[in-house]
Structure 1
Amino acid sequence: MQLRYGITIGLCTCYQALWITSWCVSVPNSLVIQLRLNDVLTAAATNLPITSTKQLSADEEEDKDEEDVIDEALGLVPSDLPSTAYVVVPSANPGGVLCLTPQHVHVRDTLRVAFELVREHILAENAFPDTVDRHQFVTSSILRAAQTRGYNGLAGWFASNPDVLRLLAPIVNQRICSLRSDLKKASDNLVVGFFKIVPGEETKQLVKWFLQHLNYSYPVEPMQANVPRNKPYQHPSIAAIIATVFFKGRKPHAKKHASVFKSTSPDRPEEKEIPLTMVALVSTAIHSSLMDWSQGTHHPTNFTADKYLDAYTEHVLNLEQIKARNPRGYHKTMHGLYTMAGGSTPPRPANMDANVAMVDYDNMEVD
């Protein structure tokens, strides 16, 4: 079956499954992406020929994203397919990273869930895992995602074909890099204004001062004589970057991963906090953005573990010490970041014993 772009499609109508073969390797991925998965599957289910892709209005196209397309397609594909229904569509470039778009819809849905499992781990557990740990966690997350979604045939296929997991893992790893990239971009944009950086020789000394003793994590003005050391991680840039990257947008991370925002105060469980790992990661991004200005002019660097693991580790250790030595101060700081970033806190319940004591139970009206 030929499409107008010359892409060869294979359809297994008995399972309504879809795969796009790599025979037409000269076709760029950008054209493959134009295929609306739900249109192809609908045609497969009704045995109709596929002659074109659906044209959406500008508003519809803006509102529809990859997740919407996958959700629509899943309604046409049974979840209990056998392991033999799945294949990997190789990259058009030999040795290149697989393209997600032409993979089976179950694989795409599984990777979507795996993205969130890995992202939650990055934000709440360890933002800079080493290469071995990251690979093991990514591959186990893919397998767990398939099991969670009820794709037993796919999970069995993964378990018996570890090479498939190895091929799919870089797609998930790309999303980790994308998260860091988004964070660094937000930091780069906000740091200049918050820290009053302008190109010139004076900026060298300014950046050096901010980096000294992690001064940039305190609520200070440039070159301030007395740094309020009792207010670590309260520089407004930290909450601003958290808000920009994690609390804003059509589908914010904070909404998807609401469970990571927990209180460490047993007396105030309703007062949610930003996780330690997230604060350390954001602070490291600020460190990276300042380093880009260390020569007086802007020289961007990659926000990678190889370059900034030491800074991240320093923030983690610092936050752990604050939490251990002053739990109440730690809670107030992290809860303050949560509320400033855009999280809401329900009103604290009144003293229940006092309220109960005020009720006149004996003289209540009865029928």
Structure 2
Amino acid sequence: MTIQYSQFTVFGLGPIGIEILRSAYQTNPQSIIGVVDIDPDKVGKDIGSLINEKETNKCVVSHIQEVNTEADHPIALHATGSNAQQVWPQIKELLDHGFSVVSTCEQLSFPWHRYPLLSKEIDDYAKAKGLSVIGTGINPGYIMDTMAISFTTVLTTVNQIKVNRKVDVSKRRLPLQKKVGIGMTREEFEFLAERNKIGHVGLEESVRLIAYGLNWELSSVINTIEPTIASENMTVPLTTIKPGDVNGLHQISTGMTVDGKEISLDLTMSAGIKQEDEIVIDGNETQRLIVPNGIFGDTATAAMIINTAKQIDALRKPGLLTMADIGVPRNINQSDFVHI
């Protein structure tokens, strides 16, 4: 019998990996052919116990070698880290075992500028295996880059792209609250910021992905980061925030082209902020797109990973890819599997 759906192995079971597993299982339990994590508290457990489902007879294993698959193009849904250099050995091993890889690694969304040699190595290795590697998510991966690229289609000329994203981190997972500095003093935040040890990873990658997608040549990219400061007491899952404490961050990445065009990405991730996503494109006219209440990053990232994996499976394009390389992002119905 011909399998009419993509087959996935979830690799990494942190908060986002668990969300990916839950979403993939609830969409199609038969699509899950393996789940891999090194946490001894998870290894050997039935995956149903991790996602509040009944027993599945599928257990977490500690190594990709333990995943049995007869699929002609299995895909690893990889969610372990943000740094491309650190996750490359994992991705290389997945390629060695016949898996294409869709990763939440933010730097993989557009690694060609930050890591040109590594990017070429990944691209060459994936092509030699006839497999695909892509980094995606909601931010980076969609709302502040791919969606902005797509929105330019309604203008004949584009001079400026502005994306504003506001995220209430009090509603988000603990690792993200830690990453944006919740509960720190201003001095602690600024100390880490000066050493590039705090902040959202991937904002500059989004600038460069937009430029790549529009065939714009960047002359400079400037990044800034500052803490947002609480004005009142607030309790979040991580801690209790007092007035004067850091309750998040404000980060901007601005790219300028050689001919004066501008890409400006403005991200505020702060406890208690009103959520909203906004894209403004200025050219022969000005167009503005607003997502009231914003796109919730955790569940939407899981959907992006799964839907991109289905698209990669249908596309079968080897190499290190970006969201600008794979066509219109979408949720492909797999009741009848197609190649595109």
TM range (shorter): under 0.3
Structure possessing the higher radius of gyration over alpha carbons: 1
Q: What TM-score comes out, normalization by structure 2 length?
A: 0.24
- Structure with bigger strand share is 2
Q: More relative contact order in 1 or in 2 (CA 8 Å, sep 6+)?
A: 2
Q: Which structure carries more helix by proportion?
A: 1
